[in-house]
Amino acid sequence: AQTVTQSQPEMSVQEAETVTLSCTYDTSESDYYLFWYKQPPSRQMILVIRQEAYKQQNATENRFSVNFQKAAKSFSLKISDSQLGDAAMYFCAYGPSNAGGTSYGKLTFGQGTILTVHP
Amino acid sequence: EAGVTQSPTHLIKTRGQQATLRCSPISGHTSVYWYQQALGLGLQFLLWYDEGEERNRGNFPPRFSGRQFPNYSSELNVNALELEDSALYLCASSLVGGRFYTEAFFGQGTRLTVV
């Protein structure tokens, strides 16, 4: 079974600074997807960034980028030029790509990291 | 375009009762997913419905059940409620069954409190 671990329950950053959130996962699959989701106080989960395991290039979305280390099974999120609106709970998630597998259609989430942004 | 909508926003039930939660996917989306977000436990996968059928199920007891209607909306039923069922229940939808990764969108959830 796949597991996702976020070892930082809480992180804080000053506005305009950079912060990195950590995530490790465990899987025996070679092809899969990894995600970072943001959950603000409104509770709605918002997809921040997605990485496909077969792609070596790290995904980037504006101020958000990842450091994907497949061999180490590590998937960290870097937020540059942090803004007050970035304050939220961030979840790392794993999704299998095997359409025939028993895990297909299901995401495995980490416990989340609460990010506080100080003005 | 309307997003994924869930109702009710909040629900308070007594232990032993039944709870019914509803989800309307984005127009055109055929797959609906249910997740439980209990305090301190992250999100746990509950159920996946596609084209009216249950496609996958998480590690939850049978008293958690649901269905998907012909219009692709979905209902989650929790029978014989227990205190530990108190959680935020999130629904998500996607355009193509199982292709959660590129096209899934979440609703704002139903907060279920069991007293």
Q: Residue B103: helix, strand or coil by DSSP?
A: helix
Predicted local distance difference test score (pLDDT) of residue A101: 66
| B-chain residues near A35 (CB < 8 A) | 101
φ, ψ of residue A43 in degrees (nearest 5): 80, -15
Contact status, residue B18 vs residue B76, Cβ threshold 8 Å: no
Q: What share of chain A is helix, strand, coil (3-state, %, to 5)?
A: 5, 50, 45
> What is the mean pLDDT, run by run of 10 residues, along chain A of 119 residues?
92 98 93 92 90 90 96 97 97 81 80 96
pLDDT surpassing 70 at residue B73: yes
Predicted local distance difference test score (pLDDT) of residue B4: 95
Better-scored residue on pLDDT, B101 or B74: B74
Q: Which fold has domain A3-118?
A: Immunoglobulin-like (2.60.40)
Tell me if B98 and A43 make a contact (CB, 8 A cut-off). no
pLDDT surpassing 90 at residue B99: no
CA B111 to chain centre: 11
Tell me if A111 and B98 make a contact (CB, 8 A cut-off). no
What are the structural domains, with CATH classification, of chain B? Answer: 5-114 (2.60.40.10)
Pick the closest to residue B76 from B87, B84, B68 (CA basis): B68
- Nearest Cα residue in chain A from B99: A105
Predicted local distance difference test score (pLDDT) of residue A100: 60
**How many CB atoms neighbour CB A49 within 10 A?**
20
Question: In chain B, positions 70-109, which contact chain A (CB-CB < 8 Å)?
Answer: 88, 90, 92, 97-98, 100-102, 104, 106-109
d(CA A18, CA B53): 45
B interface test, pick of A6, A44, A48, A94 with most B CB neighbours within 10 Å:
A44
Amino acid letter, B115: V
Better-scored residue on pLDDT, B95 or A115: A115
Sequence spans of domains, chain A: 3-118
In this complex, the residue of A91, A106, A110 whose CB is nearest that of residue B58 is: A106
Starting at the edge strand found earlier in the chain, the sheet holding B64-68 runs B5-7, B19-24, B74-78, B64-68
| A-chain residues near B97 (CB < 8 A) | 105
